[in-house]
């Protein structure tokens, strides 16, 4: 079957909840993917940062195959021999005392919101069911009813109410707005250190540090959503570390399993995650032995291949090179590490046509918020490959 035949079947039988580029991928290797017609592409999206370690990394693949031949699922009704080691290695790497594994990033977000509310009632003594959580405009934390309840994107919300109460929204990047929004019932401030889906929006310098100070002063939890930004993507293990900030709770996912399996986790210390008691929260698949074995291998690859530093060095180079491109269409190039956004002018005609043109030149990138092209290749990319891509990117950004 060829590309058009696959697309026709997908359009006929699948719900139309995405608008993908018309490329049908059948194989991946490192930073490269191949379509069903034999064409080769540089992946500059990395499945929204899920494949930081590159496609089908051999060490993660070996861990998957080995564990899949032993046991894949026990449920949390029984213990398994992979989860304890995953807990330990995750704590040693991140510095948090405890973790709670789930599957999707959205599940981990829901978990963090639940524990923040319980902390508010049990520790801060907020009146039961009166807890408030402060969120920011332009956020993206998932697609569940609760997470869209505090989204400011009409497309995500319009036909899906009624919404979950208990959230207060303030402008992103404005720490003073957070300070003003805090009340005695505030349980947490919940935000992304860099808004990836929002268009690679980087807050003003010092913002995260000030937010952390405000939270500490007011006895409020600071929760960072590092699902896209975490595990090396921005040139630090966590993006909050660029300002020396250690949030009370950090939410991770995506690259936690290197693209092989949905694995997410909530990280915190015992004073927060220790509040959960048996039966209050759970997941049949969360923490299963296959997931834990894959995640352990994925974390080892990040450390052993020095991917955090690679992202810092190559990201700086990539941003520098993109910034030097002279194009009437480009408004701004911004990024941290290998999380890079190229924002186009209003007259450029939208980012989609540029992504389609890049596809024709063997580069896969994706538009976000209509006018931003994201360049987020796997962290295993090298300088030579970036140099290979730059002439095509330059040509596309200068097209009519």
Active site residue 140: yes
Residue among 254, 285, 336, 354 flagged as catalytic? 254
Evaluate whether 368 touches 41 at the Cβ level (below 8 Å).
Answer: no
- What 3-state DSSP class applies to 225? strand
The per-residue pLDDT for 242 is 98
Tokens 């500059």, located at residue: 44
58-304 classified as CATH 3.90.1170.50: no
Q: Which CATH architecture has domain 3-57+306-397?
A: Alpha-Beta Complex (3.90)
The secondary structure of 8-69 as a DSSP string is HHHHHHS-------S--EEEEEBTEEEETTS-EEEESSHHHHTTTT-BT-HHHHHHHHHHHT
The secondary structure of 342-380 as a DSSP string is EEEPGGG--SHHHHHHHHHTTEE-EEETTTEEEE---TT
- State the Cα–Cα distance between residues 56 and 48, nearest whole angstrom: 16
Active site residue 225: yes
The per-residue pLDDT for 42 is 98
- Show the tokens assigned to 38: 């034999």
Rounded (5°) CA angle 63-376-86:
30
Residue among 86, 140, 222, 260 flagged as catalytic? 140
* Residues above pLDDT 70, as percent of the chain: 100
Domain ranges of the chain: 3-57+306-397, 58-304
Query: Which stretches of the chain are DSSP H helices?
Result: 3-13, 46-49, 58-68, 83-94, 105-119, 145-149, 154-157, 175-181, 207-217, 270-273, 289-304, 307-323, 352-360, 383-397
Query: Which stretches of 120-201 are DSSP H helices?
Result: 145-149, 154-157, 175-181
Q: Say if 3-57+306-397 and 58-304 have the same CATH topology.
A: no
With a cut of 70, which residues of the chain have pLDDT below it? none
- State the Cα–Cα distance between residues 393 and 325, nearest whole angstrom: 9
DSSP conformational letter for 257: G
Residue among 35, 43, 174, 225 flagged as catalytic? 225
User: Would you mind telling me the total number of residues written for the chain in this entry?
Assistant: 400
The per-residue pLDDT for 340 is 98
């Amino acid at each position: 079957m060829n590309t058009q035949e696959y697309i026709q079947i997908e359009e006929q039988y699948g719900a139309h909840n995405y608008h993908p580029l018309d490329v049908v991928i059948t194989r991946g290797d490192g930073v490269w993917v191949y379509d069903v017609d034999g064409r080769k592409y540089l992946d500059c999206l990395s499945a929204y940062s899920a494949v930081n370690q590159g496609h089908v990394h051999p060490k993660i693949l070996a861990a998957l195959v080995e564990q899949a031949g032993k046991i894949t699922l026990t449920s949390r009704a029984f213990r398994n021999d992979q989860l304890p080691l995953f807990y330990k290695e995750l704590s040693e790497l991140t510095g948090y005392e405890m973790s709670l594994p789930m599957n999707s990033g959205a599940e981990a977000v829901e978990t963090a919101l639940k524990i923040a509310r319980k902390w508010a009632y049990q520790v801060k003594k907020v009146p039961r069911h009166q807890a408030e959580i402060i969120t920011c405009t332009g956020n993206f934390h998932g697609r569940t009813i609760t997470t869209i309840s505090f989204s400011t994107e009409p497309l995500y919300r319009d036909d899906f109410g009624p919404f979950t109460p208990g959230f207060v929204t303030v402008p992103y990047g404005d720490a003073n707005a957070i300070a003003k929004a805090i009340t005695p019932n505030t349980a947490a401030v919940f935000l992304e250190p860099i808004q990836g889906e929002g268009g690679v929006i980087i807050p003003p310098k010092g913002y995260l540090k000030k937010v952390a100070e405000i939270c500490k002063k007011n006895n409020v939890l600071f929760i960072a959503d590092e699902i896209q930004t975490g595990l090396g993507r921005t040139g630090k293990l966590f993006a909050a570390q660029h300002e020396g900030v250690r949030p009370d709770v950090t939410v991770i996912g995506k690259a936690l399993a290197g693209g092989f399996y949905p694995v997410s986790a909530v990280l915190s210390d015992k004073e927060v995650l220790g509040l959960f008691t048996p039966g209050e929260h759970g997941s049949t698949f969360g923490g299963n032995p296959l997931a834990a074995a894959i995640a352990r291998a994925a974390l080892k690859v990040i450390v052993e291949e020095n991917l955090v530093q690679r992202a810092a060095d190559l990201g700086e180079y990539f941003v520098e090179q993109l910034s030097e491109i002279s194009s009437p269409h480009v408004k701004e190039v911004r990024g941290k590490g290998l999380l890079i956004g190229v924002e186009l002018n209003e007259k450029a005609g939208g980012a989609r046509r540029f992504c389609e043109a890049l596809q024709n030149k063997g580069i896969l990138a994706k538009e976000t918020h209509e006018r931003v092209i994201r360049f987020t290749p796997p962290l295993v990319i090298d300088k030579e490959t970036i140099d290979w891509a730059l002439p095509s990117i330059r040509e596309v950004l200068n097209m009519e």
